[in-house]
């Protein structure tokens, strides 16, 4: 008990606060156009990685519906078997990173993740964890991408925490061309659900 108190009030160093990514990150974090070496890209799974190959496309909008052309989107996901960091998964780290183009657009090409364990024996429907960074965003916005063709969404324990009227903002809609559409609305009508993670 006393140890716990000490850790909290004396020993424990305070968290480093977040600041905005600002408008000028691209030459360091998404430096393709600058000839820099890329840590990760919108290609999350190399050719030949087993699984259902999918493409997700979207646009980031601000509260006026204006496209956000200076955002960075990162994705994190399980493999098709619902595993993270599985051994022998060559060509797949589960991590994607993309900047939005001048029209606010982004895309990712990956393999669809598998379902995975939630708390208390529940099962989570396939999803990607998403971070949104942008000028004017002081703290990373966390959201998730689910998929419209997954029946498991109905019993997903995280979607169940979201008011029913807003759940659709977390579900990428599969178009006739097979591409999943996932727009991110930072504010206002149809505002994307963001989480305190």
| Residue list 40-69, contact with Fe ion (CB under 5 A) | none
Establish if 23 lies at the interface with Fe ion (CB under 5 A). Answer: no
What residues pair up with 129 in beta bridges, in sequence order? 76, 144
Which one of 46, 103, 136, 173 is in contact with another protein (CB under 8 A)?
A: 136
Query: Of 121, 106, 118, 119, nearest to 172 (Cα)?
Result: 106
Establish if 9 lies at the interface with another protein (CB under 8 A). Answer: no
Which one of 91, 157, 175, 178 is in contact with another protein (CB under 8 A)?
A: 157
Establish if 196 lies at the interface with another protein (CB under 8 A). Answer: yes
Task: Pick the stretch among 19-27, 34-42, 63-71, 148-156 that binds Fe ion (CB under 5 A).
Answer: 19-27
Task: Pick the stretch among 15-23, 59-67, 139-147, 179-187 that binds Fe ion (CB under 5 A).
Answer: 15-23
Which one of 98, 134, 145, 172 is in contact with another protein (CB under 8 A)?
A: 134
> Which DSSP string do the residues of 110-133 spell out, in sequence order?
EEPPPPEE-GGG-EEPSEEEEEEE
The single-letter DSSP state of residue 52 is: -
Query: Of 195, 194, 191, nearest to 62 (Cα)?
Result: 191
- Residues of this chain, 26-45, that bind another protein according to CB under 8 A: 26-29, 31, 33-34, 36, 39-40
Residue 8 vs residues 5, 15, 17: alpha-carbon distances, Å:
5, 12, 17
Total residues found in the chain within this entry: 197
Closest CB 20 distance from another protein, rounded Å: 6
Rounded to whole angstroms, the Cα distance separating 120 from 16 reads 32
162: number of Cβ within 10 Å: 16
Rounded to whole angstroms, the Cα distance separating 75 from 146 reads 12
Q: Which DSSP helix (H) or strand (E) runs through 132?
A: strand 127-134
Establish if 99 lies at the interface with another protein (CB under 8 A). Answer: no
Backbone angles phi, psi at 2, to 5 degrees: -65, -35
Closest CB 35 distance from Fe ion, rounded Å: 21
Q: For another protein, which is the closer residue by CB, 14 or 151?
A: 14
- Residues of this chain, 47-66, that bind another protein according to CB under 8 A: 62-64, 66
Establish if 22 lies at the interface with Fe ion (CB under 5 A). Answer: yes
**Binding interface with Fe ion (CB under 5 A):** 22
């Amino acid at each position: 008990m006393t140890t716990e108190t000490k850790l909290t009030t004396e020993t424990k160093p305070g968290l480093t606060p977040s600041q905005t990514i600002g408008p000028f990150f691209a030459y360091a974090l998404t430096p393709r156009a600058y000839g820099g070496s890329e840590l990760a890209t919108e290609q999350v799974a190399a050719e030949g990685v087993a699984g259902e190959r999918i493409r997700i496309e979207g646009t980031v909008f601000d509260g006026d519906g204006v496209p956000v052309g200076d955002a960075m989107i990162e994705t994190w996901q399980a493999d098709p078997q619902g595993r993270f960091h599985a051994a022998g998964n060559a060509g797949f780290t589960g991590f994607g990173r993309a900047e939005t183009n001048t029209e606010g657009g982004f895309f990712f090409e990956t393999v669809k993740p598998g379902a995975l364990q939630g708390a208390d024996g529940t099962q989570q429907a396939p999803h990607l964890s998403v971070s949104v960074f942008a000028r004017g965003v002081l703290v990373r916005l966390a959201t998730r991408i689910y998929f419209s063709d997954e029946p498991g969404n109905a019993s997903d324990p995280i979607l169940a925490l979201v008011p029913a009227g807003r759940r659709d903002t977390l579900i990428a809609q599969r178009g006739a061309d097979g591409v999943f559409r996932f727009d991110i609305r930072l504010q206002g009508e149809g505002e994307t659900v963001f989480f305190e993670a």
